[in-house]
């Protein structure tokens, strides 16, 4: 079994299913995930470094994505009062309305993914995924 190929295959199925469900227009699944993350952390001062960590993205990838999202009026960057080098990232009203409109569909997808999987198996899956992330992160740092 090639774990990398299996994960890629599952991700492709999730992307296809998500696009079918939500009819994402001019917004990628990754952008939608970032907006959803920002909405869940609205009371926090989230910056690009926080997103890099949360989504395991490289700085340059995150920066390009945020620039595109800002150009498309999906996020706004606000000066951090505590550190002038940082920008706080907030979702715009446009992106909040969009995510709110498809929230039920994303919840439906999550339920579909978990269908017929026991809580015990989900816990094992979570543990294994975390270990894979740690393995790759450690390998990447060497």
**Domain interval for residue 52:** 3-141
Quote the pLDDT of residue 142: 46
pTM of the model: 0.68
What pLDDT does residue 141 have? Answer: 53
Element (H, E) at 80: none
Mean pLDDT of each 10-residue bin along the chain, 142 residues long: 90 80 69 91 94 93 95 94 91 89 80 94 95 78 50
| Two tokens, residue 106 | 């994303």
Q: How many domains, in total, are found in the chain?
A: 1
Quote the Cα angle for 105-61-58, to 5°.
Answer: 105
φ, ψ at 126 (rounded to 5°): -60, -45
Give the domain CATH number at 80. 1.10.10.10
């Amino acid at each position: 079994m090639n774990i990398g190929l299996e994960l890629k295959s599952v991700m492709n199925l999730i992307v296809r299913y998500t696009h079918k469900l939500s009819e994402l227009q001019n917004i990628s699944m990754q952008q939608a995930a970032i907006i959803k993350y920002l909405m869940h952390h609205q009371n926090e001062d989230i910056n690009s470094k926080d997103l890099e960590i949360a989504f395991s993205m490289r700085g340059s990838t995150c920066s390009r994505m945020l620039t595109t999202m800002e150009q498309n009026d999906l996020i706004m960057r606000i000066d951090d009062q505590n550190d002038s080098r940082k920008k706080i990232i907030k979702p715009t009203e446009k992106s909040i309305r969009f995510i709110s409109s498809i929230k039920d569909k994303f919840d439906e997808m999550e339920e579909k993914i978990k269908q017929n999987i026991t809580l015990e198996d989900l816990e094992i899956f979570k543990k294994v995924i975390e270990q894979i992330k740690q393995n790759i992160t450690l390998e990447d740092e060497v």
